[in-house]
Amino acid sequence: MQLGMVGLGKMGANMTVRLMLGGHRVVAYDVNKETLHRVAEEAKGSESSESLQDLVTKLEPPRAVWVMVPAGAITSEAIDTLGSLLDEDDVIIDGGNSRYTESIERASTLRDKGIHFVDAGTSGGVWGLKEGYCLMVGCEPQIFERLDPIFATLAPDNGYAHVGPPGAGHFIKMIHNGVEYAMMQAYGEGFELMYKSDFELDVGQIAELWRHGSVVRSWLLDLAANALGKDPDLTELSDYVEDSGEGRWTVETAINEAVPAPAITLALFNRFASRQDESYANKVIAALRREFGGHPVHAKHID
């Protein structure tokens, strides 16, 4: 099949290479010309385009264009522009981490123009080129069938599925990332308990041990074993943990649906705590303990 790929970051570039290796024709576009040239060298046989207009011109109808750029304004701009350039029965695929409610709205807007919209929740990160990408696809059934060869090439065996109408793909990817937050938090807490124990444990060894037969084995554990095996002290890292936004949306959805999600919620809040040089809330708690019970406090050292 032929496909337009908009956005050649860490995932978009590797997806382009995987598609080319799978025998597809890819017309690629990125605002960064150096990136465009580099991917053209890596994905032998792919075709570069100078603009979105140029990309659309180089594709044969019915066209399919995969947008793989950061969620938010950049995605909105790309989809809006493509919506003005594409023809009836063409397809726009959003593989980024857009909010599912926005995907539902985009599908409705594009449907009025006769253009199909697909939200493809995509998981796999920088390992996707080798391992494949898990694809959670929301769209009309007939469009899923049309694009099946693309999905089959990008995903590993049993690694893609039509999960529902437009919006469902990004909804499931949002929940996926919320679960990921909780799993990562649990691993982090467990390894810290072992790292600080009196046994002087080799946490890299333990992570590797758990990978074989343990009930807590997972791909995240594989990655932990890789990182801790190289540097158990994680000396090059700070404890600041960013969040992509999907954890927040998951917690908001849990609130709206009155579904208890304490593990995911606490994992998200812990990321917020990681960004504080010092906690004013903890200062208030210490002050209250001193006031009501005369409990000792630790004075702040000022140079």
Distance of CA 36 to the CA centre of its chain: 22
Residue 48: in which H helix or E strand, if any?
Answer: strand 47-48
Specify the residue for token string 């025998």.
23
Contact partners, residue 86, CB within 8 Å, separation at least 6: 56, 63, 65, 92, 115
Strands 64-67, 91-94: pairing is parallel
> Which backbone phi and psi does 234 adopt, to 5 degrees?
50, 50
- H-helix or E-strand containing 136? strand 134-138
The alpha helices in the chain, defined as continuous H runs, are 10-21, 33-42, 52-58, 73-85, 100-111, 128-131, 141-154, 168-195, 203-210, 219-230, 246-257, 262-273, 280-293
Q: Is the peptide bond before 149 cis (omega within 30 degrees of 0)?
A: no
Q: How far apart are CA 207 and CA 216, in angstroms?
A: 10
162 contact partners, CB below 8 Å, separation of at least 6:
137, 138, 139, 141, 144
Q: What's the CA gap between 267 and 69, in Å, rounded?
A: 26
For residue 301, give the DSSP letter: P
User: Annotated catalytic sites, by residue?
Assistant: 173, 180
Enumerate residues 6+ apart whose C-beta is below 8 A from 293.
none
